[in-house]
Chain A
Amino acid sequence: MKLVLILALAASALLGQTDTDQATDLNVNSRYIIESISFLDQRNYKLSTSALEDIRRLVGAKVNTEALDRLSQRIRAELRAHEVTFKLMRGEAPEAVRVLIHVDQAAGVLDASVPKLMYNSRQGFTGVGEVAATAGPNALTLRMLRDSDTLIEHFSGVQAKYDWLALDGGRIRLGFEFDAYQDQYDSATLAALDGASRPSSLGAGVYGSRLNYEPSATFVLAAPLTLTVGLGFEELSSLPTAARPVSANSVINTLRYHQRWTGSGGNKQELDAGYNLRAATTLLGTDLAYTRHLAQARYSYSRDAQSVEVTIVAGAICGQAPLFERFSLGDSAMLRGWNKFDLDPVGGNRLAYGSVTYGYHIMRVFYDTGSVWDPGKAPELKQSAGIGVSGGLGVFEKGAFLLAVAFPFRSGPVIPVLIAGMNF
């Protein structure tokens, strides 16, 4: 997950709790309040929910060397790093300090994991296996995946990504990603593409395989605000294979803001917002010209055992985008309970979606609503609700799990959808 953990200065309620802990702290800096905790190299480290919880607890409290040492050891174990140390810097506010965590992976680390395993009783299994190797500022990630959930197409294949983090103290990250997928389609999708209902805005028919070459650069504009710019060169090998491949080459821009706050009284807030623009332009020699906008925001508030999370997503495509770019709802993350192939088997060029989740301890109750449609057609609002258990609010957290049953609001027979997932 994006882990630029700049957490705002919390209020004094926590201070009283930690005074006793400070009694034996021999560090003169123990009188200062931790204003924020962040990673020195600005990298996206994936930590467990409990490690993130530890970080949240420390922000707003006085410096506690032992607690910071424990956190360092925990991060070292989770990231399998050679060494993890922390550094105190003057904070923005007087009498406050920033904690910068330094992860030393200079010796090189090879890590194998299963970052995602999801089952949806309508869509089937989705799984990702990952091998990540790091050596100094270099990170190489290889993934094998099978995804029946997130796109209209079912795709399986490999992703290989190289990241170099050495520029400007980690504030600039250069990357190159190569993806190779084999694609399959639901019978409803194939039927819709063959029929008269095939949307005129669809940029290409079905394709049997997809290759993607994607160089990118990520800039930390003002932590935690980041901008990623890159190019995507997608090559779609159409069915039948004798046909000439179709290219969808685009400029990619992503602006992202991810912030967490711990407030007085122990309440916690998190905002994860982003805007993504993909502009396939003839300047890049693309066969398909289109512009795809996607904006999304997720806000969560939790206090004691209760939590509320609100998600809003909006998207629009102008031009003729291929299937993998088109929007869909009715999967394991959005408009849960619906079958995306019932809603729109070829996806749409417009998307509006909102969701509210209430949590009490690990219990979750959610309500989803949204629509996916094409220009010229009236959007049809769909709704669903569900109940389940979850180990985290954000789906990005390592160790978060979800087991839920979701129901679509519709007339006629209602078949619940079972969703089970784990972020290892």
Chain B
Amino acid sequence: MTVSSQGLLPHHASGEIRVTAPSLHFLTGKSLSRLHDGAAVPFDFQLIIASGSKNNVVARALERFTVSYDVWEEKFSVIRVRDFRKSGMRLSANSAESWCLDNIFLPAGSLPLDQQLWARLEIRAAEPREPLATQADSGLNLATLIEIFSRPSRPQQDRWSLESAPFQLASLKP
């Protein structure tokens, strides 16, 4: 599944660029069924900022969030794989989706203030048997995530892609 619209809203606060996407719901369909069955479903996120043109990528953030659904409490839990200490517990589906977006961001310091920018967010649900590529001490292997997003998604794989309208860093609201 792909959502490609200008429903991605960038924000600038505390020197970081974050995004919100009110129309985005990725805890749906096959992934949601797996979650309700008690499985942990990893979602790979890529947030890109392009400058000048949409293909000129100047900043990129990659994260993997593992979502699971507590079969007793009927609430979602999210863990940022890069850092197990960062987690959201007892969340509704919408809150779990928002939590993921809140926890992927880019430093604004390296971005040009006066040029036109675009933000793009890509999400892929990992396949059930896709290796987590975690490392016991350092969490997620970043190279693995880059490799994941550099290859085309599988036909059956759930994926979402959103773009923002063009914006300038100076004009962004917190």
Q: Do A and B interact?
A: yes
Within the complex, the shortest CB–CB distance from A87 to chain B, in Å, comes to 4
Residue of B nearest to A66 (CB): B132
| A95 lies within 8 A of chain B by Cβ | yes
Which 7 interchain pairs have the tightest Cβ spacing?
A88-B38, A28-B77, A27-B40, A87-B37, A26-B66, A28-B68, A27-B68
Chain B residues, Cβ within 8 Å of A69: 128-129
| A97 lies within 8 A of chain B by Cβ | yes
Q: Are B71 and A88 in contact (CB under 8 A)?
A: yes
Chain A residues, Cβ within 8 Å of B81: 26
Interface residues of B in 39-91 (CB under 8 A from A): 39-40, 42, 66, 68-72, 77, 79, 81, 84, 89
Chain A residues, Cβ within 8 Å of B71: 29, 32, 88-90, 97
The size bracket of the interface on B is 20 to 34
Give A88 to B132 CA distance when docked, in angstroms: 20
Chain B residues, Cβ within 8 Å of A88: 37-39, 71
Q: Are B39 and A27 in contact (CB under 8 A)?
A: yes
Give A86 to B129 CA distance when docked, in angstroms: 13
Chain B residues, Cβ within 8 Å of A24: 84, 134, 136
Give A85 to B40 CA distance when docked, in angstroms: 13
Q: Answer whether A27 and B129 are a contact pair too, CB < 8 Å, given A95-B72, A97-B71.
A: no
Within the complex, the shortest CB–CB distance from A134 to chain B, in Å, comes to 22
Chain A, interface SS category: mixed
Q: Are A28 and B39 in contact (CB under 8 A)?
A: no
Q: Answer whether A28 and B89 are a contact pair too, CB < 8 Å, given A88-B38, A95-B72.
A: yes
Q: Are A28 and B69 in contact (CB under 8 A)?
A: yes
What would 5 A/B residue contacts be, using CB atoms closer than 8 Å?
A: A25-B40, A26-B84, A28-B70, A87-B37, A97-B72
From A25, A26, A29, A73, give the contact of B38 (CB < 8 A): A29
Give A87 to B69 CA distance when docked, in angstroms: 12
Q: Are A90 and B134 in contact (CB under 8 A)?
A: no
Interface residues of B in 105-150 (CB under 8 A from A): 128-129, 132, 134, 136
| A65 lies within 8 A of chain B by Cβ | yes
Q: Answer whether A29 and B70 are a contact pair too, CB < 8 Å, given A85-B128, A88-B38.
A: yes
